[in-house]
């Protein structure tokens, strides 16, 4: 499992993978190497999701500002 992101990754796919990783992290008996890999991947996915949310928030704010400027 590579920590790098595929250029075609969507927010929904990242969110789903993140939820899957969290479930795996909660399983007993996870070896340390797998745990480390999962944590690294989860960190990358979380950063991606936060970045996408911030981008969408900015887009919505811009759209609302444009609407206010027109009225």
Note the pLDDT tens digit of each residue in 30-51: 999 999 999 999 999 999 999 9
> d(Cα 62, Cα 55) in Å, to the nearest integer?
11
The pLDDT of residue 7 is 86
The pLDDT of residue 2 is 57
Note the pLDDT tens digit of each residue in 2-30: 567 888 999 999 999 999 999 999 999 99
Give the three-class secondary structure for 14. Answer: helix
The pLDDT of residue 70 is 84
The pLDDT of residue 47 is 96
Residue keyed to tokens 């992101």: 5
> d(Cα 2, Cα 21) in Å, to the nearest integer?
13
The pLDDT of residue 5 is 85
Residue extents of the structural domains in the chain:
11-70
């Amino acid at each position: 499992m590579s920590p790098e992101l595929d250029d075609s990754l969507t927010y929904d796919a990242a969110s789903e993978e993140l939820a899957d990783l969290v479930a795996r992290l909660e399983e007993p008996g996870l070896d340390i190497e797998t745990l480390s890999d999962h944590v690294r991947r989860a960190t990358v996915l979380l950063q991606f999701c936060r970045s996408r949310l911030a981008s969408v928030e900015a887009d919505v704010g811009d759209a609302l500002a444009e609407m206010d400027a027109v009225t």
